Amino acid sequence: MKAKQKTLGLNSTYRLKVTLKGIKPPIWRRIEVSNQITLSKLHQILQVAMGWTDSHLHHFLIGETYYAEPDPEFGSDNVNENRVKLSQLPLREKMKFYYDYDFGDNWEHEILVEKIITVTGGNKPPVCLKGRRACPPEDIGGIWGYAEFLEAIGDPKHPDHEGILEWVGGQFDPETFELEEINRKLAKLR
């Protein structure tokens, strides 16, 4: 007999694996969030967990529906992310949905609902459990720009090596993942 698919309860925590698409080796984070947060709050959590600076537009795609911050320039095809809690969405374990950030660089994130955990008492604050690799710098030019960036910083003889290192503040290690720093910043979100 097939196990019943677990769906969310009144107070649940989602364990989500967030993977930046198109980059090898992968850049990913495993986070836990309350089902009582809005998609707008999830956006803030993703910005911190991944290492983005919230400098660009974004949207979520869940099923066939787009959710975003209301913006009159882009019409009204999106559902207002400020008004939708995770508990109101048809999310279930093993389901994937998507978060796109910076429509110019087009950073696509795949979000897998790994586990739904029923909690007693109040809702837990967001936490990052694990992850791999540093987030690309903002405005780097997407996947292709990031590949060129890594090539330039990895080769001291590259003509752009010094200029690019200066642009990112003197150093960048693509393998760095700072779990404690991420969780310190997540703890400050209200």
Choice between 80 and 1, residue whose per-residue pLDDT is larger: 80
Which tens digit of pLDDT belongs to each residue from 41-63?
A: 999 999 999 999 999 999 999 99
Residue 18 near residue 107, CB atoms below 8 Å: no
Nearest-5° Cα angle at 118, 117 to 122: 115
Residue 187 near residue 125, CB atoms below 8 Å: yes
Would the pLDDT of 72 be above 80?
no
Which tens digit of pLDDT belongs to each residue from 118-155?
A: 888 777 899 999 999 999 999 999 999 999 999 999 99
Alpha-carbon distance 182 to 50, whole Å?
8
Identify the CA nearest to 179 among candidates 49, 91, 83. Answer: 49
Backbone dihedral angles phi then psi of residue 65, each to the nearest 5 degrees: -110, 135
Identify the CA nearest to 28 among candidates 37, 38, 19. Answer: 19
Whether this prediction's pTM lies above 0.95 is answered by no
Dig out the tokens for 147 from the structure: 């590949």
Residue 118 near residue 9, CB atoms below 8 Å: yes
DSSP secondary structure letters along 79-103? EEGGG-BGGGS--BTT-EEEEEE-T
Q: Quick one: CA dihedral 89, 79, 128, 141, positive or negative?
A: positive
Alpha-carbon distance 146 to 169, whole Å?
16
Ordered by where they begin, the domains of the chain are: 12-134+176-188 (3.10.290.30), 135-174 (no CATH)
